[in-house]
Amino acid sequence: MKKVGVGDMATRRSYGQDIVFYVRRILGTDPPVAQLIGVNVRLFADSPLDDLIVLDYRVKPSSPSGLKAIIARVVFERAKPKPQRNYRLEAVRADYVPIPGKVLHIDGEEHYLKQCLTLYRNLSVPVIGLHIPEAEQPRKIREVLEKHRPDILVITGHDGLLRKQGSRDFLINYRSSQYFVETVKQARLYDTNRDGLAIIAGACQSHFESLIEAGANFASAPERVMIHCYDPVFVAEKLAYTPFTQVVDLPELFYTTISGKDGIGGIETRGKLRQGFPRLESWLPTESYT
């Protein structure tokens, strides 16, 4: 059996090899334990080394065909003309300046953040991306909100229900849900209006009900399932490009995420797209990806 090393990609025997992980760190305990992060799902986990099956590559594998099909469908649905007024297409044809909502994406995992910023760029969503570990997010959120003044806030990273702890009803049984909840509360002190600052919060298996109660507009995970690292991006894009005169269509939104309504839920929220007039080159909004 191949020896497990930092940077390897591996699956867990005890979970039926359901998720592919990176080996982030190996702890010198007795017996040794590996700290793992999901390649595409927002999950942090620990595993004994003898439970791991090392895969034959050290770089990110190609997405399964099913995942590629879901992402292609999401992008297609975003661009497809709708029966109601389509502001994105009108802005191209007429003398208007489309001004989508600006996103502040705070991620506890730099690996996921880089993937998400690439997707924001492909979807033409203006975004500021910051890597802030989950435990530090509650303390730093007010400062970064005052600095960047976003329309949409994404608070995410790693999470997971600790299997050994049992009940899913208590925040103490989650890796990061308590940090996400406190971060949402602090963000709501900055802006109490859910149609002012729209908040998307959570990661894999996060405590959905507590996040919504704390003030999030959208959160994971109603059925405590794994969510894809792109799911918060698709929700943010929908908010950014829905006109402020309209409420985001919830069934349509959750249909176009990867994990669906089991992974992401939320409340009625107005969009963030506005249009300016006339169309001056000097006035065109600049997109930022940092």
Q: Name the burial class of residue 71, with classes exposed (0-12), middle (13-18) and buried (19+) by CB atoms within 10 angstroms of its CB.
A: middle
Q: State the DSSP H helix or E strand holding residue 148, giving kind and residue range, or none if neither.
A: helix 137-148
Which two three-digit tokens encode residue 165?
């702890």
The helix/strand/coil state of 152 is strand
Please report, in angstroms and rounded to a whole number, the separation of the first and last CA atoms in the chain.
41
Classify the C-alpha dihedral 151-237-198-183 as positive or negative: negative
State the pLDDT at residue 3.
Answer: 80
Phi, psi of 61 (to 5 degrees): -75, 160
Could you tell me if 155 and 134 are in contact, meaning their C-beta atoms sit under 8 angstroms apart? no
Could you tell me if 6 and 26 are in contact, meaning their C-beta atoms sit under 8 angstroms apart? yes
Q: State the DSSP H helix or E strand holding residue 147, giving kind and residue range, or none if neither.
A: helix 137-148
Would you write out the chain's pLDDT as a tens digit for each of its 290 residues?
Answer: 568 888 787 888 887 777 777 687 888 787 888 878 777 676 777 788 888 888 765 444 444 445 566 566 666 665 665 555 555 555 555 677 888 999 999 999 898 899 899 889 888 899 999 999 999 999 999 999 999 999 999 999 999 888 765 688 889 999 999 999 999 999 999 999 999 999 999 999 999 999 999 999 999 999 999 898 899 999 999 999 999 999 999 988 887 788 889 999 999 999 999 988 777 766 665 555 55
Q: Which amino acid is present at 152?
A: I
Phi, psi of 62 (to 5 degrees): -65, 145
Directed axis angle between helix 231-240 and helix 110-122, to 10°? 40
Which two three-digit tokens encode residue 262?
């089991």
Phi, psi of 284 (to 5 degrees): -60, 130
DSSP string for 178-247: HHHHHHHHHHHHH---TTTSEEEE--TT--HHHHHHHT-SEES-TT----BTTHHHHHHHHHHTSBTTSB
Phi, psi of 243 (to 5 degrees): -55, 145
Task: Strands of the chain (E only): list them.
Answer: 9-12, 21-27, 33-38, 44-48, 52-54, 97-99, 103-107, 127-131, 152-156, 198-201, 218-219, 265-266, 274-276
Residue carrying structure tokens 């007010």? 142
Which two three-digit tokens encode residue 17?
């090899």
